[in-house]
């Protein structure tokens, strides 16, 4: 395959952070709620999940990154061009439903946490959040959005501080981290499936392929022909960036489980349904500082994750249809793309107005994504091993091994989800 990456590539100071943004978006409000629930229910016995999911997250996000760089196209555009519609549309619908419901749940989580500090009805806060996010997407440049996302990602370090304030026992930390513990109970298996599902969410890797395309457009490569191809140095830089980003994501997961496991579980607060409840419950146990740090992380990362989900859904649908989609385009130049961003944001906001239970909605979204994400991940692995598509940039042995393990685990998680219903 011809390498068309002759123009100067942006330096590390520009590219470093794309993986961190993706990793931070993976630790969205609903994921924080899942990790907090895991710590509250089972203490520190699930700390080992962070190092276990890290290599799988790296593999799937890097595959998506490589696909975007080598083809110069977003994930669903590539799928549309290589697979039949009967396969494309069921996977796409699952991703769209999952993204929208998760965005709604994240807006609800942000509103609940803001309501701790601001005595305004949560619905009004949710509407204000949606408007602010939509204005940023509609009228902010891609460079502005990217830089805002990078700074918001740093807010997740609040969970490191929150965990430090809980003063966990070192011996329990070591045991929970290095001695995997599994219970064959419905609750334990359900939380395992939930952690795997939220760490390997579809929006994580669909976003990564699209942002790689946006980076090439930012470098002046406006046509698909100009964007096609990636050098070994380009891919090596992406590998380093994604390793950092996924490590960052898993470290945050680790410290959320640690902070809630060392406090809420020990105090018998085992029934935590969302991140706002976790923040409130931490206040009397670990002090107001820990509670404020926990809630602040939820709010800040929500402003990153919600636009990743709504914009990601707009990317996926426009690419499946064949419409123009790019954050570099002005709203008047890509009306359908920006209209879909507004539409998905509006649906997510309306769901909050209907008084739905965000945690129950996440269960339904998880079910939909649980059956659409495995085939999507399988398609990514097959595409990145297609020599006609990828040229000499197909996957090597170790990357393939990690990728197939991730595929097997996500399929097993879906089967486990069904199994948990039958227990």
So what's the pLDDT on residue 418?
A: 65
- 176-186 pLDDT per residue, tens: 888 888 777 77
Q: Helices 358-384 and 397-422: crossing angle, nearest 10°?
A: 150
Average pLDDT, the chain: 79
Mean pLDDT in residue range 142-167: 63
Mean pLDDT in residue range 205-214: 85
pLDDT > 50? residue 358: yes
* 333 DSSP 8-state letter: T
So what's the pLDDT on residue 376?
A: 87
pLDDT > 70? residue 42: yes
At residue 194, the 3 state secondary structure works out as helix
How confident is residue 106, by pLDDT bands cut at 50, 70 and 90? confident
So what's the pLDDT on residue 40?
A: 83
Residue 412 and residue 252: Cα distance in Å, rounded?
25
pLDDT > 60? residue 4: no
Residue 78 and residue 74: Cα distance in Å, rounded?
6
Please tell me whether the overall predicted TM-score, pTM, comes out greater than 0.85 for this model. Answer: no
So what's the pLDDT on residue 20?
A: 66
Residue 9 and residue 350: Cα distance in Å, rounded?
42
The two structure tokens encoding residue 77: 């555009």
How confident is residue 343, by pLDDT bands cut at 50, 70 and 90? very high
DSSP sequence for 198-213: HHT-HHHHHHHHHHHH
Mean pLDDT in residue range 278-285: 52
- 122-133 pLDDT per residue, tens: 889 889 989 988
Closest CA to 133 of 146, 115, 145: 145
Name residue, tokens 């490590």.
247
Mean pLDDT in residue range 65-91: 92
Mean pLDDT in residue range 84-98: 89
So what's the pLDDT on residue 7?
A: 41
DSSP sequence for 261-319: IIIIITTT-----SHHHHHHHHHHHH-HHHHHHHHHHHHHHHHHHHHHHHHHHHHHHHH
Element housing 267 (H / E):
none
- When comparing pLDDT for 288 and 7, which is higher? 288
- 380-405 pLDDT per residue, tens: 999 999 999 999 999 989 999 999 99
So what's the pLDDT on residue 379?
A: 92
pLDDT > 50? residue 197: yes
């Amino acid at each position: 395959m011809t390498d068309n990456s002759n123009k100067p590539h942006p330096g590390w100071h520009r590219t470093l952070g794309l993986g961190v943004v993706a990793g931070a978006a993976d630790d969205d409000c609903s994921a924080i709620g899942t990790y907090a629930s895991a710590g509250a229910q089972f203490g520190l016995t699930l700390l080992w999940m962070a190092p276990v999911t890290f290599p799988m997250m790296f593999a799937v996000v890097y595959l998506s990154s490589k696909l975007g760089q080598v083809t110069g196209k977003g994930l669903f555009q590539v799928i549309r061009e290589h697979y039949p519609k009967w396969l494309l549309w069921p996977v796409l619908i699952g991703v769209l439903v999952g993204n929208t419901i998760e965005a709604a749940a994240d807006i609800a989580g942000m509103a609940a946490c803001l309501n701790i500090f601001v005595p305004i009805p949560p619905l009004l806060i949710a509407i204000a959040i949606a408007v602010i996010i939509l204005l940023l997407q509609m009228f902010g440049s891609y460079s502005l959005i990217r830089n805002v996302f990078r700074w918001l990602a740093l807010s997740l370090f609040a969970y490191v501080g929150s965990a430090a304030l809980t003063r966990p026992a070192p011996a329990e930390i070591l045991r929970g981290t290095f001695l995997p513990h599994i219970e064959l109970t419905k609750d334990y298996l359900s939380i395992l499936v939930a952690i795997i599902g939220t760490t390997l969410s579809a929006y994580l890797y669909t976003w990564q392929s699209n942002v790689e395309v946006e980076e090439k457009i930012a470098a002046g490569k406006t046509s698909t022909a100009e964007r096609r191809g990636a050098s070994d140095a380009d891919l090596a830089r992406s590998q380093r960036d994604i390793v950092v980003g996924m490590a960052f994501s898993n470290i945050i997961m680790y410290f959320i489980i640690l902070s809630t496991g060392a406090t809420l579980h020990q105090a018998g607060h085992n029934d935590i349904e969302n991140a706002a409840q976790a923040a409130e419950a931490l206040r009397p146990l670990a002090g107001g500082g820990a509670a404020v740090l926990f809630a602040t992380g939820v709010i800040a990362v929500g402003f990153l994750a919600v636009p990743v989900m709504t914009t990601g859904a707009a990317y996926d649908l426009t690419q499946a249809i064949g419409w123009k989609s790019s954050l570099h385009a002005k709203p008047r130049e890509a009306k359908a793309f920006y209209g879909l961003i507004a539409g998905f944001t509006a649906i997510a906001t309306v769901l909050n107005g209907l008084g739905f239970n965000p945690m129950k909605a996440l269960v339904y979204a998880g079910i939909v994504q649980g059956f659409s994400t495995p085939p999507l991940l399988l398609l990514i692995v097959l595409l990145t091993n297609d020599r006609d598509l990828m040229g000499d940039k197909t996957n090597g042995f170790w990357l393939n091994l990690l990728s197939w393990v991730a595929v097997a685990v996500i399929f097993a998680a879906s089967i486990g989800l069904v199994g948990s219903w039958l227990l």
